[in-house]
Amino acid sequence: MKHLFLLSLLSLLVFGCTPTAQTTLSTPAPTTPPPPPAPTAPTYTPFEQMINKKPKNIILMVGDGMGLGQISAGMYMNGNKLSLEEFHYIGLHKCYAADDLITDSAAAATSFACGIKTYNGAIGVDVNKKPVKTILEYAEEKGLATGLVTTSTIVHATPASFIAHQEQRKMYEEIAADFMNTEVDLFIGGGKNYFDKRTDNQNLLDQLRDKGYQVNTFLETELADLSPGEKNLAYLTSNTDPLPVARGRNYLPLASEIACEFMDGRSDKGFFLMIEGAQIDWGGHANDTDYIVTEMADFDKAINKVLEYAKMDGETLVIVTADHETGGFAIQKGSEMGKMEGAFTSDYHTGTMIPVFAYGPGSKAFKGIYENTAIFDKMMEAFGF
């Protein structure tokens, strides 16, 4: 027995105790989250599907003072490309006024807006100074939404000619008062002082609020922070003239995008929207090539925003033109891609014909050579008015 005990003890010392079985917990390998879905490419309406349709919406874009020289300089300074190259049809219009071969912006814009030739300085009136209904007013009457966007004051000649009726373009306070006679759904531009710092002490901004408008100005709200609602929208970008883009103005492309989104679906009958790149003209008056080129680049960005909307919508006619050319601008010897040497024959407007670019349903009507008044006629026909 003693021997058995000793053998058992020796066995324990040599081989040790049998360990207790343990459960090993394994940590699952980390899983890699699935990659985010690729952004969906925008769906554009094929050209063939839109070209023979009637447009529901019309967007008229006016590059004030923009002739072929300005367009060419803008293109060569922008990597040899512009959004204008995407337009389907191109024409030329004759831009003279009723009283002068050399038009001003007021007479030319009145031709677009009202379909008449009139005298230089006229805002929505004929040669007898009688008011003529504008396409914006026809659109309102037919139940369409309407809008105006500009890089000048909103009471300047081009936007004014679509909404006001005054004998002279410099009647800025009277033009501002004419805004009270319409139900324009949206307007964005400078000239706040003509609404609330007036010689008659009226505050038209308060009157617009009383009419149910959402009214904002650059003083309290950045355009990028604007939250449009169901109300008609007025946004004033400056007290008087907006700055040039080279000195910090940057709102036109964003304002164009906001305007398209705001107008979309506002009326089931469609909309009319006029967008102006005003300061190409001011660069021509100043005989300043850099001014022209930077304003052309800004206008091209706005055109691109509008085209993106029109491509996806498929029911929008976009027309880009100018009221006249300014400065007799020409690209000179010594210019290169990305470097412009410009020269000028004038510090005023010239009488050269003006290109017209059209995209979308109804665009075919804008090819050829015609009077500037025909732009009104073609838009009215496109709308079926």
CA distances from 97 to 127, 165, 290, 328, 379 (A): 10, 17, 29, 18, 20
* Residue 72 falls in the annotated catalytic set: no
- Helices 68-76 + 289-313 axis angle, to 10: 90
| Integer Cα distance of 307 and 312 in angstroms | 9
CA distances from 334 to 126, 145, 331, 337 (A): 46, 48, 9, 10
Length of the chain equals: 385
| Integer Cα distance of 62 and 354 in angstroms | 11
Residue (of 306, 252, 305, 239) closest to 278 by Cα position: 252
236's tokens = 């004033």
Position 55, amino acid: P
Q: What is the dihedral of CA 305, 259, 375, 364, to 10 degrees?
A: 40
Name the residue with tokens 């002490």: 201
Residue pair 302/252 in contact by the 8 Å Cβ criterion:
yes
Q: Find the distance separating the first CA and the last CA of the chain, reported in whole Å.
A: 124
Strands 349-350 and 145-153 come out as: unpaired
Position 257, amino acid: E
Q: Check 26, 72, 83, 105 and give the catalytic one.
A: 105
The phi and psi torsions of 20 (rounded to 5 degrees) equal -75, 135
Q: Which residues are identified as catalytic? A: 105
